[in-house]
Amino acid sequence: MCKFDPPNFNTPPFTPFNMKHFTLLLLLLTFFCRAQEIKVIRGPYLQNFTPNSGVVRWRTDIAANSQVIYGNSPSQLNQSVKDENLLTEHEVEIKNLSPGKKYFYAIISAGTKVGGDETHYFNTVPKAGSTKPVRIWALGDFGNSSKNQADVRDAMFNATKTHKPDAWIWMGDNAYSNGKEEEYQNHVFRVYQDTFFKNLPVWPSPGNHDYAGKHNPALPPYFKIFTMPTKGENGGLPSGTESFYSFNYGNVHLISLDSEAMETDSSYLYNENGKQAAWLKKDLEANKLPWTIVYWHKPPYSKASHDSDTEIWMYKVRENITPILEKYKVDLVICGHSHGYERNHPMVGHTGKSATYDAAVHKKANEVAPNQYVVKKGEGQGTIYIVNGSGGQLGGKQKDYPLKSSVYSNVTEGGSMLIDVVNKKLNAQWICADGVVRDMFSIEKK
Ligand SMILES: [Fe+2]
C-alpha cells in the first residue's frame, strides 16, 4: 500500500552524505507503513440474521474500507460484499442467502483479513414454520470478567461442541457496571470473541446496568454496539425501535422486551397501556408459530437477590404484563436481574405476592412425569417463568427465598440455559459453571 520510488543512484549529485539520509528516510517510511497496518479490535460479530440475510460487524483501530467474503467452505469464499467508505465501525449486510444454511466467511479491511477458517461461519435462520431443530443459548447478568463468567461460558462451549447453538439471547446486565463502551469491550467482547461471537448471532435485551441506572434509550452504548430488528426483518411485528423487538427461528417466536426504557409516550414496560405493552399484544396476536419465548431483564417472580414482592419494576410487570403473556399462551418467560436460577411451575393468574401462590388455583400443568409437561390441543397451558441471572454475577437471596411457586431454585451455582426445540417438543437444561446440569424440563405439544 505504501509506495516509495527510490532515487536514481546514477544521477549526480548522489553522495555518501545524502545516502545516509536516504537510509534513514527508508527506515522511517517502513516504520510508518507498519504503524498504518489496520488492526481489528472488536469482532467479527453477527447480528440481525434472517433466512436470507445477516449483518457482520467489526471495529478497526484506523478508518478503513469493509469487505466480507463468504462461501460454502473456508477455501471457497467466492462471494463478496464491499463498502469503500472509510470507517472504524464496520457493518456489512449480506443479502440473497439461502435459509437454514451454513456459510464460511472472512472480513477484510484495507488488506487486513480475519477469518477464512473452520471457526468463522454463520448459519442463516431456518424459514418461519420450518420444523428444523433450533438450539438457543440463554445467558443473563454476565459481563463482569469474573471466574464464574468464564466458567459458565466454558461449560456451555463444552456442552455444545458437537451441536452448536443457533441463537444467543441475553437477559440484560450484559456489561457491568454501567454498560460503557470499554466495559462491553473488556467484559463482553474480550470474553466471548474466540468462542461464540464469530459464529453465533446475538439477540440482546438490556438491563439496568446497561442503562447505567437511567431510562433514556438515547444514552446507552448498547444501542450503538448492537443491530436489532426494528422492521420485522426476521418475522414478528415491526417494533420501530431497537429497545424491544421480535423475531422467528423455525417454529419458535422470540420476543425481546426492555424493562428499563422510558418509551416515547413516557411509559415503561410495566404500564399495561404503554407503548411496549400495546405492541406486545399485537405481536402476540399476529404470531402463528407453535412456540413462544419472551425475555427481558427484571423478572415478575424472584426471591433471589431481588424481591418481586417489594420492587415496583417487578411486581408491576407481574400485575400488568403476565396476564397478556398468559392470554397468548407464551411457553417460556426468561429474565435476569436476580443473580440465581429460579424456575416456577407452569402458571396462570398468579399476580399476587409469592405467599399467595396456590397450586390448586395457579398451577396449570399436565405433568406426565417429574418436569415433563404435556400440552394437549384445546386444553390451555401455563407459562413457565424463569430467572436465569447467574451467567457471571452470582448470589443473594431474600429471607423468604425460594418463591412459593418454585419448582427448582439455586443461588449458589452459576449457570446458563440451553433450550432445544425439535418440532413439537422443547427441552431445557440449566448448565452450571462446573458443567453439571442441575435442572431440566420438557414441554411436549400434542
Ligand atoms: Fe439488573
Say if residue 310 is exposed, middle or buried (CB neighbours under 10 Å; 0-12, 13-18, 19+).
exposed
Distance 144 CA to ligand 1 centre (A): 13
In angstroms, the CA 409 to CA 267 distance is: 32
User: If you measure from the C-alpha of residue 304 to the centroid of ligand 1, how many angstroms do you get, rounded to a whole number?
Assistant: 12
Rounded distance from Cα 28 to ligand 1 centre (Å): 51
> How many angstroms is it from 434 CA to the middle of ligand 1?
24
Q: How far is the CA of 298 from the centre of ligand 1 (A)?
A: 7
Averaged pLDDT score across all residues of the chain: 93
How many angstroms is it from 273 CA to the middle of ligand 1? 24
Kindly tell me if the per-residue pLDDT of 4 is higher than 60: no
What would the mean pLDDT of 303-321 be, rounded to a whole number? 98
179 C-alpha to center of ligand 1: Å?
A: 11
pLDDT for residue 328 is more than 80: yes
- In tens, the pLDDT along 332-391 reads 999 999 999 999 999 999 999 999 999 999 999 999 999 999 999 878 789 999 999 999
Cα(313) to centroid(ligand 1), Å: 11
Q: Is the pLDDT assigned to residue 244 strictly greater than 50?
A: yes
Q: How far is the CA of 332 from the centre of ligand 1 (A)?
A: 20
State in Å: Cα 303 to ligand 1 middle: 14
Cα–Cα distance, 176 to 210 (Å, whole number) = 7
Q: Does pLDDT of 398 surpass 70?
A: yes
Contact 186, 145 (CB under 8 A): yes
Question: Does the pLDDT of residue 6 top 50, yes or no?
Answer: no
How far apart CA 31 and CA 312 sit, in angstroms, is: 59
Yes or no: say if 425 and 250 are a contact pair by the CB < 8 Å rule.
no
Question: Is pLDDT at 1 greater than 70 in this prediction?
Answer: no
CA of 323 to the centre of ligand 1 (A): 23
Where are the chain's structural domains?
40-123, 134-445
What span, in angstroms and rounded, lies between the C-alpha atoms of 34 and 279? 52
**pLDDT at residue 427 in the model:** 98
Mean pLDDT, to the nearest integer, of 219-242?
97
Q: Could you tell me the distance, in angstroms and rounded to a whole number, from the CA of residue 84 to the centre of ligand 1? A: 40
For ligand 1, the distance from its centroid to the CA atom of residue 51, given in whole angstroms, is: 33
Q: What is the CATH number assigned to the segment(s) 134-445?
A: 3.60.21.10
- 282 CA to centre of ligand 1 in angstroms: 27
Summarised one tens digit per residue, pLDDT across range 159-216 is 999 999 999 999 999 999 999 999 999 999 999 999 999 999 999 999 999 999 999 9
Gap from CA of 30 to ligand 1 centroid (Å): 50
CATH superfamily of 40-123: Immunoglobulins (2.60.40.10)
pLDDT of 379: 80
Q: What is the pLDDT of residue 23?
A: 57
Q: Cα of 201 to ligand 1 centre, how many Å?
A: 23
Specify the higher pLDDT residue, 237 or 31: 237
- Residue 297 alpha carbon to ligand 1 centre in Å: 7
The pLDDT score that the predictor gives to residue 18 is: 59
> Do strands 79-94 and 54-71 pair parallel, antiparallel, or not at all (unpaired)?
antiparallel
Sheet strands (E) in 24-53: 40-47
- How far is ligand 1, taken at its centre, from the CA of residue 405, in Å? 22
* DSSP letters for 351-395: -S-GGG--HHHHB---EEETTEEEE-TTS--PBEEEEE--SS---
Q: What is the pLDDT of residues 10-67, one digit of tens each?
A: 444 444 555 566 555 555 554 444 456 899 999 999 999 999 999 999 999 999 999 9
The answer on pLDDT for 433 being more than 50 is: yes
Identify the CA nearest to 140 among candidates 185, 175, 192. Answer: 175
Q: How far is the CA of 207 from the centre of ligand 1 (A)?
A: 5
Distance 280 CA to ligand 1 centre (A): 22
